[in-house]
Amino acid sequence: DTAVSQTPKYLVTQMGNDKSIKCEQNLGHDTMYWYKQDSKKFLKIMFSYNNKELIINETVPNRFSPKSPDKAHLNLHINSLELGDSAVYFCASRRDRGPNTGELFFGEGSRLTVL
């Protein structure tokens, strides 16, 4: 079973559209993240949720709205898509207990292309 799964893997859409990316983890972790990786491979933290509560909200446009219906899911909705939103979006979950506390487990990424 995939530990952290994201859907869709690829998303091509027009400017101005609204789209969502879903993420699910089956590791029992309490903390989940969204990262954006741009064309230069830079990984920028966007949001972090712990037990469904927003913990980190970086300077991300409010067109981006994360939603965590439960601890195992963290979805990302993007309104009014812009060309600059084209990137690979990674979901991750974090082990918060035990000997490997702090380790992140990543999904395979969702490549968003805005035309």
Partner 1 sequence: AQSVTQPDIHITVSEGASLELRCNYSYGATPYLFWYVQSPGQGLQLLLKYFSGDTLVQGIKGFEAEFKRSQSSFNLRKPSVHWSDAAEYFCAVGAKAYDMRFGAGTRLTVKP
CB of 38 to partner 1, least distance (A): 10
Q: Tell whether residue 50 is a contact of partner 1 (CB under 8 A).
A: yes
Contact stretch for partner 1 (CB under 8 A) within 21-29, 65-73, 76-84, 107-115: 107-115
Size of the site for partner 1 (CB under 8 A): 25
Residue numbers 60-89 binding partner 1 by CB under 8 A: none
The mark string for 8-47 relative to partner 1 (x by CB under 8 A, - otherwise) is: -----------------------x-x-x----xxxx-x--
User: Which amino acid is located at 26 in the chain?
Assistant: N
3-state secondary structure the chain: CCCEEEECCEEEECCCCCEEEEEEECCCCCEEEEEEECCCCCEEEEEEEECCEEEEECCCCCCEEEEEEECCEEEEEECCCCHHHCEEEEEEEECCCCCCCCCEEECCCEEEEEC
CB of 80 to partner 1, least distance (A): 27
Comparing CA positions, the residue from 98, 115, 92 lying closest to residue 45 is 92
Binding site for partner 1 (CB under 8 A): 4, 31, 33, 35, 40-43, 45, 48, 50, 55-56, 90, 92, 94, 100-104, 106-109
